[in-house]
Structures are given as C-alpha cells and as structure tokens.
Structure 1
C-alpha cells in the first residue's frame, strides 16, 4: 500500500514512478486493480501509468481487475487503449476468462465485445433498406439488401426502428408478425450470417428477450438454431433463470428439454451466486423445482 500511496503523492515530478515495479513485478496500477479502487486506477491512468506492464508472473492489471470482479475497474480499463484485455496470461487465459473462473459475470460481460461494443458508424442506407424490408415482412427486400452489402448484424436505435431500445436486425425480425418472421430471421441467419447470440444494451441475447416476452415459438426457433442457452445477461442470469423467475412453466420445460444433456445449466449461477433452483424457491414456485430436477439431472 505504501508503494501505491508514494507514487500518487510524488505527482508529476516523477512520472516514471507510476510504472515502477516491486519485487513481484507489480506496478501501482496493478495494486490499485488488486484493491478494486476505481478512482485510483483512473487517477494513475491519467498520470501516465502503463496498463500493459505485466508482473514477473505475466499477469496484467486487466487480469487482476477481472479476477477480483471489479466492475468499475474493468469498465475503466476497457476504455483504455493500452489495457490489453485480449492478451492471454502464461496460463493461456484472457481477462474475461479470469472473471468467469471466479463467477464475476457482470465483469465478464463488460469484457465481452458483444456486450460493450465499440462505437459503430450509423447504419448505412442499405442497412436501413434491410430494416425496412424486415418491417414490411418482405423476404425479397431483405434478400436484395443483403445481396447489396447490408450488415445482418446491424444495430438500430429506437429513433430508426421505432422500438424501445437498440436492437439487432435479428431481434427486430423476430418481433414481427408470425406469418413471415421466422422466414426472414432464417435469411438473416443463413444468408446474412447474423449472430443469433449477439448481445444488446443489458447483455441480453435474443433468447433472453423472447423468454421475458413469453414467446414460446420464438424461443423454440432460437433453441433449434443452437442459441447459447448458457449466455448470461449483465446480471449473470441465464434465460432459464428468467423463465423460472416469471413462473413460465412451458418455457422452463422447453429450455430444460433442449438442454437435458447439459446439467451445467442447472448449476449455473448468476452474478450473485444464485442458481435457477434458488429463483424457484425465492419466488415460491415450488412446482418448478421438481421439473428442473427431472429434466436436468
């Protein structure tokens, strides 16, 4: 701690001190990450601390921030161009891997590109044409737009799409009337190579969204196309946890049936260490607990 305080007190007269290493190769920035002190991390970075310096064991500040689960520090490092969050340690693990190993799902989501994407350019005219084809339910217009270079993974904010939040083209397609929505979604998936597991603002995938809407046909369609049933939202929740919380028995049964050979879903925990079974007990859905056990064990 003395090493860290000394670096900050001396100030800009000795900028090299911000990158001085102790006997273990730790810099003041590394120690601040270890202590989950977001304000000190921000201060050190402003003063020129180097986020790319590893310890003698090859660990970076980003690895420590992820392992400790500090959301604030992970967000700060994520924005810093030299934090090297995608660099592997000698153990072959990236920062996000350390967060997942320690069940820090909120931190892990912050370190995931799909959850916290870099700023994108506004949709191009051809992307807007794709959106218009989706909203009209026109498979021909969607085909033409994709053939002319539209991005099947384009994001559209509410000002353009008329929705409640920024959505992917795939999610918007699945929101449309039942007659053509699966046909158009299949075109985006198969022809346009849309990512069925792309995440939006709260770390939700399409599976999360349509479980919350109790849209059984959309959930079944997504599962049949290998949607990631283990995907977590920003709070570390799986789609099964949301279905249990809302007492959506049909969806609980559907999700558990599709994942019968993956009992890890039953044991998955959210950002606070709670399982789907915990959700059933807390919300008094005692009829769901036997269903989970029967299908997942």
Structure 2
C-alpha cells in the first residue's frame, strides 16, 4: 500500500509524495479501495460549485472515532528519506491535479486519506500520524511528576491545540488525570473553558468519560457547567445520558442550568425520562426542571414516558404536576402514543388517571383508531389462541372502548373497523364487531376521496386485500355488499377469487353491478370475469343479465373500428360524447378476443331468441371449432331451452336455490341449473 506524506503548512513544496509502508497488513487493498471510492463519491456530491477549480485539496467530512491516543502537534518538517530498492517507485501528485482529499476511518480503526484526481483515478494512503507532545504522552501515562516538570519548561505551550483543537487540559480530562488538571490550571487558569473543534470543553469531555474526580476538580476551578457542545448538549445533559446520579448532583450543586435544551429542544429531563431514571428525574425537578417543557416538536417529558413505555417516570411526572393531556405538534397525546406503541400498562395507567380518549390528533384519528392498527394478522394467531402481541392489542382496545365516545368516532369520518380491515388485523376486526361497532359505517366524503376507487366500507377494504376471513366476519355481522360506489363484487371478480365471489353473492351482492364512471350496456360484473368461465356461469346461475350482452346498437350493420387509448389524440377543443360501451367492443379487445367463443357459448345458455351482431358473428367465424356455437345462436332456439328460461323466471333466483327441497326429479333440477354440461367447465 502507498502512504501519503503531506507537506507542512507554509512549506514551499507543492507536491504530495507517496512512500510505501507495511503498517496495514490486516487490511486488504480491496477493502481500502472500496472505502475510498465510496468516500470520494460522497465528497464529489457534497462539493460546491467552485470545488473543481480549486488548486488545493479540500478536506471533507473527517469522521470522528473513539480516541485511543489523541494526536498532539503536527510533525516537524523532515528531509525526504532515501527510497528503498524493495519499495515500488514513489508517485508524486501535483496539487493542481487533485479535485478533493477525503479522510476516513477503516473498520480496523485506521485513519486513511483518499486523493481524487481530475482523470478519475484514486490514490489511497494511511493518514500521517501526529507525534505526541511530551506533555501529552506524560498525561496519557499518568506521569504526574513529568507533567509538573514539563509545565515549568519555557518551550511548553499549554494553549497550542492539535489538529482536533485539543490542548493538554482536554487530554487530561479524557484520560481522567485530575492531578494533571490541577497542575495545568495552576499554570494557565484562563484556559479552563477552552473548547475543541467540536466545541467540547474539558468539563464536557470529563463528563462524557465519566471521570467524576476530574469533573469535581474542573468545577472547583471555575469551569462553566452550561457551555454546550456543537449539538447544544450541556454537561448536565450528558450526565443524564450516562445515567450517573453522582455527576448530575455535582453539576446541579455547582449551578448547572437545568432547563437548557439541545439543538432539537431536548432537555436533561427528557433524556432522564426516556431512560426511566426516576432518581435523576426527581433531582432535576427539585432543581427547577419544568415538567411540561416541550421540545421543538412539542413533545413534553410525559409524552416521552408514554411513547417509550416508562411507567415509573410517568407516575413521577404526574405526581409533579405534568399535563396529562398535553399535545405534541402533530396533535398526539400521551395516550395516543401509548396506543401507537402498544404499551398496555401505560394505556391502563393513563386511563386510570382520566386521560382524554376522545382527543384527536391532527389527522383526526382517536387513540382507538391507532390501537386498531396495532393488532397482528390472523397468520400470527396460534391454534388455540392469540399471540401475546394480539392479546395486548385487543386488551388496549377493550380498555379504550368504554372511554371512547362513538359519536366522536363517527365525527372523525372513519371507523376503527376500516383501519383494522385495511391492515388485515383480523383479531381486531372480530373484537370490534363483538363490541357492536357498525359494520356498515361509511368513510366520510373527504376520507373516501383519498382513495382513487372512492371506497367507503370496511368490507371493501377486506375484499381488496383478498382477506377471506375478515370478509366472512363482516358479512356474517350484517355488512351490506352494495354500499360502495365500486361494488366489492367487482373487486373480487377482478381478482378471480371464487371463494370471495361466492361469499358476496350469497350475502346479496348485486350480480348486475355497473361502474358509474364507465357506463356499459351490460353488467360490469360480466366484463371482470370473462377469463373465468366457471365464475361467469356462477353469476349467470345467480341472475346476472345475459340478454344485455346481445343488445348491440349496431346490429348487423358495419361496426366502427375499436378505439384504443394509445391511438387517440387528446384535443382540448374536441367535445367527447360519453357513450355506453358495447359488449361486442369489450370482447374484441386483445385481452378477451381469444375467449370470445366459449364466453358467447355460456351466455347463450341463459337467453332465448337473440340475434348476434356483425362483430360477434365475425368472431365465431374466425375459428372452425366455434361454428357449433354460431349454429346454437341461430333461431329458433330449442323448446327445452325456452321452457327452462320460463321456469327459472317464474321461480326466481331465491326459490331456485331451494329447489332441492321441493318434490322435483333430480334430473329436472340439474337441467334447470344448467348442470347437464357441468363437466365442460
């Protein structure tokens, strides 16, 4: 591998020279190149408009890893070593040829640098390490005596930072050397609040590393406990993050501001509540922490406790006057979030404290709506019961039902049943049905318009998901299959699911359903099942209008050519007349034309005297095997066929379904039900 030697600042040499080093034998070339390429691409995307014309390397996004031995000062300029004959030739890169320089850390903790040129080539090398200053080395080794001697030397500059902005005081705080801190501050007391490039003070570093003695030493010497880092986190916030009560108490005793917030408005109390550390929470509250202080998203500590399931912290906050029904920026309450995250114990506790279950979020949904989305699919159900998660979801629903106003639910324009059916939460669907939620509740107009098909009922959601179990439960509970604009039966037919079709038809679905937005002269239900002859025959047996398929407005005359969308040109000035689509036009499309003969054959069994239009006749003439179907349509129709139609018409569909109970010969029943040709399907 090649390693870079970067010229010292101020040096006249403008080239970057490379020499071979064998320091990274545990890292393959492929791994280094892959990391370098990824980093270079990211740098190229992040570089500004003027980057390409820059004649000096640009250092971008230097990663921050855990510090083992923080570097001190840059190395002194050295003379170029003689090239070793065993090494590859050294390559010199002119700064004018370099687009960008990227620093990164490998998975093994090696700091690397990648140089990207204008020609697209890449050079990867280990980053030159800074030599540790003697005082830094002494601090890292805990050599207090050496530190005491070095501080007194005239050439020791305690204020000189390294590449990361660290001075010896920061190093001492990092390594937990409180005696070194004492010595350094005695020599230079004014540096106590100096910050690194990441705006960390020595106090912040000591708190982060949990060096209590160093924290105490710094505070005694006058360190400011309220100086925040780049993320606006204070030492008190970090102490809460580390869950260190002793450190929190020490910072509070030295006057740390308890209500300062980080860059996102998160306070020390937020952090302690999130970690369910009641001891630290109580310390903060006694020191003046505001229990209802929101972050930038309007989230208060009580909201955090409910969201993360921290019941102990929640009790403590309520005991100290937190607002139980406070709302976040999106309108969510603590109860809302507890339901969303499935915290049964939090929901139970909040309701016991009279939390408002009827307060909606900005989306208009109540906690019971959110809980209805939480249950699991029926696939997760065990043979003899529900999984723990299902039980938890239904338990939350059972607790919310008495506390939720059904009038408020109706006012939201959506029922929990809709959401449970949409998410395939079969256990929740069953529970809500048993709780007497209206299975025929309709979505409000504004919510229905959110869906392209303008769906309205929970049954539609179940059918759309091809969820047979939910469909069965809803239909048995009295769901009306004919309330939606686009009939659920049409959805089931389009999916080709005979089981769902049978369920819907048996519960009164309209077999002659039409699509209001796409007028046709025949039922749309026929159009959606043309490829499924068994389903088509089932619809005809249950009263579907077959005669309308033969009522063509063109008759024996020449039919106009079929217009397809891709052949049509949009003209804004053209007035388009909405005409009903004919059956012969649909069956002539590419999707159905190959099935034209068998489809017509099935339909002819359910009509009397009809005359095929010119286009249907053309289809039957296109295949020799279909000539018998054409002859079947030629009048007059057989007397037996006319009698069968007459008897079926007199009996009606409902009585035909019960005809097996009448004293009628089985052969006649089979004939009336068109079952004499059943083997053909």
> Quick one: higher RCO (CA 8 Å, sep 6+), 1 or 2?
1
Structure with the largest fraction of helix? 1
Common topology (TM > 0.5): no
| TM-score class, shorter | 0.3 to 0.5
Please identify the structure whose Cα radius of gyration is greater.
2
The TM-score with structure 1 as length reference comes to: 0.45
The TM-score with structure 2 as length reference comes to: 0.21
